[in-house]
């Protein structure tokens, strides 16, 4: 039972924890991560994609990477939870020891899960960009023939269009950002500005 005496213990709530309860919390967190990673796409979205009605953007690839990491985290939390439950069952507290409600440990588990998810989300962006660079190095793309793709890739790499950008200048910066060998640029007037009509003609 949670009492003020237990919460104000000199050990700060770390003494005599209920390892089985902590393991159960870890297992619950792991189950949530697994469920969230598996059930993140609605069936209607899958139907539209399979029938070619809706083309998924490149951004969804990053989501796949993130949810794959989430699966690994979920299994990790589950295994840790089951392990702690076995530990608590195999090594029970002494008869004279009063079990402490593991509120501090539960808080640490929640904080750890949030931190790992945040790190995983940013790592998925790093991994996605690396995969994109590897692909474009081995499969050069003529971005001038597909300005919609150029704009989409540029946004994913955080490449903003400058006020005085031309299409050619933007594509040069994009090629420099992704690296690799690209098809040669076509001749273009240096006075042509990179406005909404230039790179967004493919977005219509």
DSSP bridge pairs for 17: 100
The structure's pTM equals 0.66
For residues 132 and 188, is the Cβ–Cβ distance under 8 A? Answer: no
- pLDDT means per 10 residues, the chain with 204 residues, are 41 68 92 82 67 68 87 94 89 70 87 94 90 85 83 84 79 81 49 48 42
The residues, ordered by sequence, that sit 6+ positions from 94 with a Cβ below 8 Å of its Cβ are none
What is the predicted pLDDT for the residue at 42? 64
For residues 197 and 165, is the Cβ–Cβ distance under 8 A? Answer: no
Closest alpha carbon to 69 in 129, 124, 109, 131: 124
CB atoms within 10 A of CB 194: 18
């Amino acid at each position: 039972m949670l009492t003020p005496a237990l919460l104000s213990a000199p050990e700060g709530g770390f003494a005599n924890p209920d390892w089985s309860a902590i393991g159960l919390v870890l297992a619950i967190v792991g189950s949530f991560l697994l469920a969230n990673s598996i059930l993140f796409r609605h069936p209607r979205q899958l139907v539209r994609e399979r029938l070619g009605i809706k083309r998924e953007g490149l951004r969804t690839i990053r989501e796949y990477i993130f949810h794959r990491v989430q699966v690994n985290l979920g299994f990790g939390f589950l295994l840790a939870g089951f392990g702690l439950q076995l530990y608590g069952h195999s090594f029970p507290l002494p008869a004279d020891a009063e079990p402490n409600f593991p509120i501090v440990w539960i808080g640490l588990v929640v904080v750890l899960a949030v931190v790992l998810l945040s790190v995983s989300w940013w790592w998925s962006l790093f991994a996605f960009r690396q995969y994109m660079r590897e692909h474009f190095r081995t499969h050069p793309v003529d971005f001038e023939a597909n300005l919609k793709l150029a704009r989409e890739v540029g946004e994913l790499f955080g490449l903003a269009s400058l006020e005085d950008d031309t299409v050619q200048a933007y594509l040069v910066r994009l090629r420099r950002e992704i690296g690799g060998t690209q098809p040669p640029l076509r001749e273009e007037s240096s006075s042509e500005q990179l406005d909404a009509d230039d790179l967004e003609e493919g977005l219509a």
